[in-house]
Amino acid sequence: MKAKYDVVVVGAGPAGAITAKTAAEGGLDVLMIEKRQEIGDPVRCAEGVAKPQLKKHIEPDERWISAEVKGSRIIAPDGTAVELLEDISGAEVGYVLERKVFDRVLADEAALAGADVRVKTRATGVIIEDGFVKGITATHLGEEFEIRADIVIGADGIESKIGRWAGIDTTLAAYEIASGAQFLVTDIEIDCDRCEFYLGSCVAPAGYLWVFPKGVRSANVGLAISEDIRDSGNRPITLLRKFVEAHYPNGKIIEIVVGGVPVSGPLDRMVANGLILVGDAAHQSDPLTGGGIINAMDAGKIAGEVAVRAIAEDDVSKVRLQEYETIWRAQFGKKLERSLAVKNRFVEMSDKDLNKLVHTVDDIDFSTVDLPGLLVKIIHRNPKMLFSLRKLFM
């Protein structure tokens, strides 16, 4: 490991790996570090991605695809189900990944592009000189050292410290975090090409529960609720056990993961002198669904390209790196603004309200309407309930 790089990427998830690959392909000298000893493990993700968006970054490979999904079901509190077809524009799920393999493939592609990769290497601080981030301090197997860089990319997830160390306020209030738990359940009867989403206060208050197929007779069964309502009676793992015992009494739980997702909308500021934040570190996950894989990859691509241009111009100031944030907000800011507005309204709804929303779309032909169009129809049919969303969608 060298003492100086053009770019140091902290975190080897999808955001970090795409950033590292893009920067290396642009001719930069890149180091990507990961605090864990294994990239991709543990998985804290439902693992669903949309097909078209994924294919922008990597060709699908059966090595890391657990299931190909043809549609999704939304189940209201009263049991009413609405089925969405796969080809609805903007659908959240098309593939269910095997993240333990997928993340490693992305890291491998970054390495093949020329990036150095170091695992079990933890960032402990940023080096700041004359108001610029100039690199990081880190530890590896008990050894402490400095790594200098023209640009540091913070891709270190919801727990991100890189931004905070550089003076960016990354604080999240409890209501801005979705607290989740997920079981990998096997030996169960499932629909292998459908994802299911359950709504209701008994299942996941102020949140939702998902069942994502992971092959024959296996599924990721998880839920997420707002952190500010989590208490002894509303612990995600307690609610999840209750659901699994009721719906899959003979299922075997072979993996348990817990974690949090930022559902706040993006940070107000994502760059500083010599620094860029990407993925969950920049709070770029979708506030409504919690989905963040594709968002992270999109941000990493932009960040890597901006890093290449900035270093070629010998200007890594906050003003120059602002190009990353400007491009990102132009492409994705409006979508997340809408998702945040829907999420904020959604968490206020009673079970009665949720039942009404599902019932109002019973007669819609989902083969002829895309997702934004569906939202417009829902708002049109529930004007009083969803009045606050009219300006965003109509």
58 vs 340: CA distance, rounded Å: 28
Q: What pLDDT sits at residue 64? A: 95
243-293 pLDDT, tens digit each: 999 999 999 999 999 989 999 999 999 999 999 999 999 999 999 888 899
Burial (CB < 10 A; 0-12, 13-18, 19+), residue 339, is buried
Name the band, by pLDDT with cuts 50, 70 and 90, for residue 146.
very high
Q: What pLDDT sits at residue 391? A: 59
Residue 365 has pLDDT above 70, yes or no: no
Residue 385 has pLDDT above 90, yes or no: no
In total, the chain counts a number of residues equal to 394
- Kindly list the distances between the CA atom of residue 377 and the CA atoms of 121, 266, 273, 349, in Å, as whole numbers in the listed order: 50, 27, 45, 18
Residue 91 has pLDDT above 60, yes or no: no
Architecture of domain 4-44+100-170+267-344: 3-Layer(bba) Sandwich (3.50)
53 vs 50: CA distance, rounded Å: 6
Domain-wise residue ranges, the chain: 4-44+100-170+267-344, 69-97+174-262, 360-393
Percent of the chain residues topping a pLDDT of 90: 70
Q: What pLDDT sits at residue 227? A: 85
Residue 8 has pLDDT above 70, yes or no: yes
- Kindly list the distances between the CA atom of residue 79 and the CA atoms of 29, 212, 354, in Å, as whole numbers in the listed order: 55, 18, 11
Q: What pLDDT sits at residue 93? A: 61
- CATH class belonging to 69-97+174-262: alpha beta
Whole-structure pTM value: 0.92
The string of DSSP letters for 295-341 reads HHHHHHHHHHHHHHHHHHTT--SHHHHHHHHHHHIIIIIHHHHHHHH
Would 4-44+100-170+267-344 and 69-97+174-262 be classified into the same CATH topology?
no
> Tokens 């197929």, residue?
213
Report the amino acid identity of residue 62: E
The string of DSSP letters for 181-211 reads EEEEEES----TTEEEEE-STTTSTTEEEEE
Q: Which residues pair with 89 in a beta bridge?
A: none
350-359 pLDDT, tens digit each: 999 889 888 8
Tokens standing for residue 181: 């738990």
